[in-house]
Structure 1
Amino acid sequence: MARDPSAKAAWTGAAVAAGLTLAAGFLKAGDLPLILAAFGATALGGLVGSLRRRITQPEPIRATDRHGVAEALLAHVPDPVILVDRRAVVIEANPAARALLPAMRLRHPLSFALRAPDVLDGIEEVLRTGAPLKVSYATRVPTERAFEVQIGPIAMPDGSGSSVVLFLRDLTSARRLEAMRVDFVANASHELRTPLASLLGFIETLQGPARDDAPARLRFLAIMRTQALRMTRLVDDLLSLSRIELREHMPPTRTIDLGPLTRQMVDAQVPLAAERGVTITCAGEGRFPVLGEADELQRVVENLVENAVKYGGPTVAVSLARQDGSHGGEIVLTVQDDGPGIAPEHIPRLTERFYRVDTASSRQQGGTGLGLAIVKHSLNRHRGRLVIESTLGEGTRVRVVLPERAAHPAAEPPPASA
C-alpha cells in the first residue's frame, strides 16, 4: 500500500529538524568535519554547509535595518540630538530634543525653534571648515538650564553632501552643584573669619595694653567666650547638616510620638523665652505617631521654636493636629508668632544656607544662618514638607507636615534631654 504523502512530508520535516538540532550541537562544540562526514552530500549535509557559511560569513545588515537600529539608539539617548542639513533645516531629532524644543518641526529651519546665535553660527562654521566645535547654550523659560552643544559634520549615505549633528549635553545640575559648593565655601569661610578675627584682636589686646587692666580683661574675656560659642554653634550646625544630607535618601523606619517630643522641646525653650519676655503655649492632646529619627525631629522643633522666640513677637503658639492628605493622614506641627513678619521676597530663600533676612540682627541673636536649612533637609529625609506663611506687621506661621504612622504599641519615646 502506498504511503500517505502528507505523512512522508511530516516525517521528512521532523528528520530535518532533528538533524539541524544535532548540527547545532556540533556547531557549538566546533566539530563541523564530523557533521559533514556523517551526512556527506545529502540534502541535510547541504543544509549544514549553508548553516556553516551563515555563521562564519554573516550577511551584512541592510541599510534599512541600520536606519531602524540608529533610530532606536537615538530614541534611548537621554540628551537631545538634532540632525540638520546644509541649510540648517531639521532632518531628524530624538525625543529628548523634541521635548526640549517643542516648537521644532522636521523640514523646518532650526532657527524657528532654537534662537541661539552662537549655535547657529557654529553650524555654519562646521559646514565651512569641516571641524567639530563646542558652544554653550542656555534657556531661561520655563526653567533656567545650561547646555554644552557639540556640533560636528556627518556625511550623508545618499551622497547629498555633509550635514551637521548637534549633541546637547545638559550641564544644569553640575553648574548648580558647583555654584552651591562655591557659595557654601565662601559663606562658611566668611562666617568663621569674623569671630576668629575678633578673638585674635582681643588676645593681642590682652597680651599688650590691657595686660594689667582687670576690668577690661573681664569684659574682653566675656566677648571672646561669645565669639567662641558662635564658632562652636557654626561648626556643630555644619556637621549636622552634612550628616543629614548624607542620609537624606534613607527614610527613617522607627515610630516616634511627636507629641511628647514637641512638648519636651517647648519646655526647653521656656528659659530663653522668659529672658526675652515671650510667652510660649503648646496645644495638642493625644498621640501623633510618625516615622522618624528622634534626634532630627528634636532639632526641627527646637530650631523653629527658637526662631519664633528670637525674631517673633511677645507670644509664640505651638500646636499639633491631624489632617487628611492626598496619601492618607498627616501630622501638622504649627509654630505661630505675632512678630513683625517677613517680606514676601525673602520667604522662598529662607531655607538656603546662610541666608538671613537681617544679617546684623541674626548675628546679634547668635544665629548661624543654617537652622532652616537643617529643617528643610531633615524634612526631606522624613518625606515631609515645610510651609512658611508670613504677613508684614502680623506675624509668621510655620507648618511642618509629616505623614502619619499607624499607631504602634512600641512607639519609641523621645530620649531624655541632656
Structure 2
Amino acid sequence: MINKTLHHQIYLSYLLLTFIALGAIGWYSLSSLQQFLYDRTFQDLEARAQLVETQTRDLFHAGKHAPLRQRADELGRAGGMRVTLITPEGNVIADSHRDPSQMDNHGTRPEVVKALKGEHGSSQRYSHTLKTELMYVAVPLRHNGQVTGVVRTALPLTVIHEMLEGITYKIALAGLVIALIATPISLLVSRRISRPLLAMKEHAERFAQGDLRSRIHVNGPQDIDNLAFALNTMAAQLDERIRTITAQRNEQEAILASMVEGVIAVDSDEAIISINQSAARFLDVRMEDAQGRSVPEVFRHSQIQDFVKRALKSVEAVESDLVLDRPDEERYLQAVGAVLKDAGDVTIGAVIVLNDVTRLRRLENMRRDFVANVSHELRTPITSIKGFVETLLSGAMQEPENAERFLRIVSNQSDRLNAIIDDLLSLSRIEQDSEKGGLVIQETELRGLLETAIQHSSRQAEEKNIRIEVDCDAALQVALNPPLFEQALVNLVDNAIKYSENDTCIRVTAQASPHQVVVSVADQGRGIPREHLPRLFERFYRVDKARSRQMGGTGLGLAIVKHIAQAHNGKVSVQSTVGEGSVFRIHVPRVEAGEPAGNA
C-alpha cells in the first residue's frame, strides 16, 4: 500500500514531474532531430533527382535505353545513391542497382504516382531489392510541358537510424544523471515543506481535543508562517468564544430546561437575550442572527413586537393569540408573556412562551366549514321536500298532474339527500379504516379494474357519444384495495363525462415505475380556472355551484377520491387548461400484497 504522508506525496510528485519533464524533452528532441534529418535527406534527394533529370532528359526522349542505363549506373555510383528511370506506363528502363528487365512495374509506387501528376513525390519503405529501408524522391521528366517519364532517386536510412540511436543513448544517460541529482534535492525540499506542516497538524489535533491555549511555533516559508499565525489566532478566538458560549448556556439552562414550547427572553430595551430552537422555527429566524439584536430588528411581525411591549409593561402575565401571515398559509400562535425580575425585584426583561396552535385552528376551521357546508347541502333538499309536501297538503294532491310532478321532485330530492349521506358515510368509513391501518390490499390486474370502472359509466358516455380509451399494460399487477380504487376511478370518470362536451374523448391511462403507479383520467372539457385548483378536492367545494347541483353532484366525489388515495399512502393531483380540458391523477406507491396500506 502506498504511503499517504505529505512528505512522501511531495517527494514522489517532484520525482514524477522531473521524469515527465525529462521524457518530454527527450522525446521532443529526438522527434525534432529525426524530422530535421528526414527533411534534409529529402531535400538532398530532390536536388539529386533534378540533377539526374537534367543529365538524362535528352537520352530519355531519344529512346536510347542502353546509354540511359550506363548513365544511371555512373550517377548512382558517383552520388552514392540509387537512380531509377521510369516511363509513364510505370516500366523501369534504367536502374543503378538492378537489371530493369527483372523489376516490377512501378506505376503504383506512391512517389511515382505523384511525379506522374507533375509534382515531386516522396515515400519511405523497405526495399526488397537492397534489403534495407530507403527514402525515395521522384521528379517528373517533361517534354514540351508534358510529363514523359519519372526520375527517382533513393538513399538508405541506415545512417540516420544509427545516428538517432546514438543520440538516444546520450539523452537517456543525461536524463539518468539529472534524475539521480534531482532525487536527493526533491527529498530535501519535501522534508523542508512537510516538517512544519506536520508540526501544525499535531497542534491542530490538540485544538480539536480542547487544548486551545497551545501555540504553534514553526520556522519555514512565509506562507507556512502565515498559516501558523492564522491557526494561533483562530485558536485564541475559539477559546474566547467557547468561554462566552459556555457562560451563556449556563444562564439559559435555568430558563429553557425541559421546554418544548418556543421561548424568547428579552431585556428591558427589547434586545433578545436568548431564543430557543422552537421559537426560531415558529418565527422563521435563525438563532445565531437573533442573539443580542432588538425585537423590531429580528421579528418583522407587528403583533410580536406589540406583545413584547405589553409583556414588558404589564405587572401580571399577559396572553394573546397571534396570527402570522405566510406565503403558503397562516400560522396561529398562542403567546404568554411575563416579566423577569432580579433579586431586588427590579424588572430586567420579559419571557415570552409561544405555542403553535396552527393545526388546532385549521382543524377547527375545517370542522366549522364542514358543518356549514353539510348544513347547507342538506338544507337544500330538505327545504325542497318540505315545500312540495306542504304544497301537496294544501290541495295540490287533488290535481293529479301537479301531484305526480311534485312527488317526482320529492323523490329526486330524497335520492339526492340519500346520496349525500352515503358519500359522507363512505368518507367516514375510509378515514376510519385508514387510521386503524385496516385497509388490506391485494395484487390486482389494473387494466381489468379500469375497464370495470369504465363499464359503470358506459351508459352516461353513450348518451353523450363520448369515447373512452384505455391505455394500460395488460400484465400490470398493482397491490391495492380493488373496491375502493374502483370507486375512485368511477368518480373521476363520471366527472369527466359530466363536464365534457358531446362527441369528445376521455383517456384513462396507467403508468408504472419501480416506486409508484400513476392513473390518469384526461378529458376534453371546458377546463378549470387556475384559482380553483388548490381547493378542488375539498368537501362540498364546487367551481360552478349551480351547474354542479343541476348535474346531480353531491360535492363529495373528488374528496372521496383524495381520501382513497391517502388511504393507499398516495396522493391526487390535477392539471387543467381552460378551454382544453383537465387531467386528474391518482399517485399510489407500490406496496406488498396483503400489507395494510396504512403501514405501507
TM-score w.r.t. structure 2 length? 0.53
Q: Which residue of 2 aligns with 1:51?
A: none
Q: Which residue of 2 aligns with 1:23?
A: none
Q: Secondary structure at the match of 1:247?
A: helix
Report whether the alignment pairs 1:347 with 2:533.
Answer: yes
Q: Which residue of 2 aligns with 1:13?
A: none
User: Does the 8 A contact of 1:316 with 1:335 survive in 2?
Assistant: no
User: Does the 8 A contact of 2:468 with 2:508 survive in 1?
Assistant: no
Report whether the alignment pairs 1:271 with 2:459.
Answer: yes
Shift of residue 156 of structure 1? 3.8
Q: Which residue of 2 aligns with 1:319?
A: 508
Residues 64-103 of structure 1: pairs in structure 2 closer than 5 A: 68=250, 71=253, 74=256, 77-99=259-281, 100-102=283-285
Question: What per-residue deviation string (whole Å, max 9, x for no partner) do you get for residues 216-249 of structure 1?
Answer: 1111111111111100100011111112222334
Instruction: Give the partner amino acid of 1:308.
Output: A
Q: Which residue of 1 aligns with 2:442?
A: 255
Report whether the alignment pairs 1:357 with 2:540.
Answer: no
Moved more, 392-401 or 188-197: 392-401
The partner residue of 1:370 within 549, 552, 556 is 556
Residues 6-405 of structure 1: pairs in structure 2 closer than 5 A: 68=250, 71=253, 74=256, 77-99=259-281, 100-102=283-285, 104-142=289-327, 143-156=329-342, 161-249=347-435, 250=437, 252-257=439-444, 258-314=446-502, 315-324=504-513, 328-405=514-591
Instruction: Give the partner amino acid of 1:362.
Output: S
User: Does the 8 A contact of 1:309 with 1:316 survive in 2?
Assistant: no
Shift of residue 113 of structure 1? 1.6
User: Does the 8 A contact of 1:283 with 1:318 survive in 2?
Assistant: yes
> Tell me, which stretches of 5 or more residues in structure 1 are unaligned?
1-63, 412-418
TM-score w.r.t. structure 1 length? 0.75
Question: What per-residue deviation string (whole Å, max 9, x for no partner) do you get for residues 228-283 of structure 1?
Answer: 11001000111111122223343744224122222111011111222233222323
Question: What per-residue deviation string (whole Å, max 9, x for no partner) do you get for residues 137-193 of structure 1?
Answer: 222134420111111012246987432000011111111111111110011001111
For 1:269 and 1:121, how far apart are their aligned partners in 2?
Answer: 59
Shift of residue 70 of structure 1? 5.6
For 2:490 and 2:351, how far apart are their aligned partners in 1?
Answer: 56
User: Does the 8 A contact of 1:322 with 1:329 survive in 2?
Assistant: no
For 2:478 and 2:256, how far apart are their aligned partners in 1?
Answer: 45
Q: Which residue of 1 aligns with 2:232?
A: none
For 1:98 and 1:158, how far apart are their aligned partners in 2?
Answer: 31
Q: Which residue of 2 aligns with 1:415?
A: none
For 2:451 and 2:255, how far apart are their aligned partners in 1?
Answer: 58
Q: Secondary structure at the match of 2:537?
A: coil
Percent identical pairs in the alignment equals 36
For 1:349 and 1:321, how far apart are their aligned partners in 2?
Answer: 25
Question: What per-residue deviation string (whole Å, max 9, x for no partner) do you get for residues 97-145 of structure 1?
Answer: 2233416521111111223444434434443342110123222134420
Q: Secondary structure at the match of 2:520?
A: strand
For 1:259 and 1:404, how far apart are their aligned partners in 2?
Answer: 16
Structure with the bigger percentage of helix: 2
For 2:251 and 2:440, how far apart are their aligned partners in 1?
Answer: 46
Change (3 A) 1:129 1:217: closer
Q: Secondary structure at the match of 2:587?
A: strand
Q: Which residue of 1 aligns with 2:101?
A: none
Question: What per-residue deviation string (whole Å, max 9, x for no partner) do you get for residues 349-388 of structure 1?
Answer: 1101111111111101110111111111111111222121
Q: Secondary structure at the match of 1:298?
A: helix
Q: Secondary structure at the match of 1:146?
A: strand
Change (3 A) 1:319 1:124: closer
Shift of residue 67 of structure 1? 6.3
Change (3 A) 1:119 1:322: closer
Segments of 4+ moved more than 4 angstroms: 64-70, 157-161
User: Does the 8 A contact of 1:288 with 1:404 survive in 2?
Assistant: no
Higher relative contact order (CA 8 A, sep 6+): 1
For 1:156 and 1:378, how far apart are their aligned partners in 2?
Answer: 58
For 2:301 and 2:344, how far apart are their aligned partners in 1?
Answer: 30
For 2:292 and 2:252, how far apart are their aligned partners in 1?
Answer: 19
User: Does the 8 A contact of 2:509 with 2:521 survive in 1?
Assistant: no
User: Does the 8 A contact of 2:468 with 2:507 survive in 1?
Assistant: yes
Q: Secondary structure at the match of 1:130?
A: coil
